[in-house]
Structure 1
């Protein structure tokens, strides 16, 4: 199976970030999926919850691009190490990094959870003041 599941998720997220295709990503989630991240006080449930979670993600940032440095797939679990760059709605540059853990049940995602520093992201979103990781002058393809 290789990295098939990891790549399916990455491809769907890329389509969301580039063209706003929300449903392509949502279709990967099961009807009873749990979706959240370290900054969220709640767990979003099912495809409707996944839709809301990813709509809020895309709505929080203007332009956004995630780059994946490391993808690990073992059985029904995927770990993705990433950096996301973009702009906040106020125009401030945003760059943050983290790890997402994805659990699959067959061909659907049953659990998604992202880990990152929510304080640093909050500073960048509201003020554009958090220290950023070094960002290359050009965005990788």
Structure 2
């Protein structure tokens, strides 16, 4: 691979950051396969194009602002791994910063599965 060719994982990271700054998930969704599955720390699984849109719009809806900074990433054998720190403000203005790891399974240059694991305690806001 030449330096000017971007991996799907690199494209995913850039598209996520673009969605976070603009609120528009269309570029991110374009990287997902039609039968994609998405999971976070809940027991729910989101499936397909409508599920992917709901997943990412719900994610962005949790925040007044959010920015993911990727500290490590690697793609090999149909798997992309991303380690990151996200910081911003929750809806209501409470500052938030948390770390996590996301995995993407790749097929045909598209994300066929997305899984993310993160410090959910960062979302607990103590009563005033």
TM-score above 0.5 = yes
Indicate which of 62, 65, 72 corresponds to 2:64: 62
Is 1:33 equivalent to 2:36 in the alignment?
Answer: yes
Is 1:11 equivalent to 2:14 in the alignment?
Answer: yes
The structure-2 alpha-carbon separation of the partners of 1:75 and 1:3, relative to structure 1 and needing over 3 Å to count, comes to farther
1-structure distance, mates of 2:6, 2:75: 6
Instruction: Give the structure 1 partner of residue 123 of structure 2.
Output: 122
2-structure distance, mates of 1:8, 1:128: 39
Superposition deviation, residue 107 in structure 1: 1.5
The structure-2 alpha-carbon separation of the partners of 1:128 and 1:14, relative to structure 1 and needing over 3 Å to count, comes to farther
2-structure distance, mates of 1:45, 1:121: 26
The structure-2 alpha-carbon separation of the partners of 1:127 and 1:61, relative to structure 1 and needing over 3 Å to count, comes to farther
The structure with the greater share of residues assigned to strand is 2
The structure-2 alpha-carbon separation of the partners of 1:117 and 1:106, relative to structure 1 and needing over 3 Å to count, comes to same
Q: Secondary structure at the match of 2:75?
A: strand
Runs of 4+ in 1 over 3 A off after TM superposition: 126-129
Instruction: Give the structure 2 partner of residue 133 of structure 1.
Output: none
Q: Secondary structure at the match of 2:93?
A: coil
Superposition deviation, residue 127 in structure 1: 3.4
Superposition deviation, residue 128 in structure 1: 8.4
Superposition deviation, residue 41 in structure 1: 2.0
The structure-2 alpha-carbon separation of the partners of 1:128 and 1:81, relative to structure 1 and needing over 3 Å to count, comes to farther
1-structure distance, mates of 2:46, 2:113: 10
The structure-2 alpha-carbon separation of the partners of 1:82 and 1:128, relative to structure 1 and needing over 3 Å to count, comes to farther
The gaps in structure 1 that reach 5 residues or longer are 130-141
Q: Secondary structure at the match of 1:91?
A: coil
Q: How many residues align?
A: 125
The gaps in structure 2 that reach 5 residues or longer are none
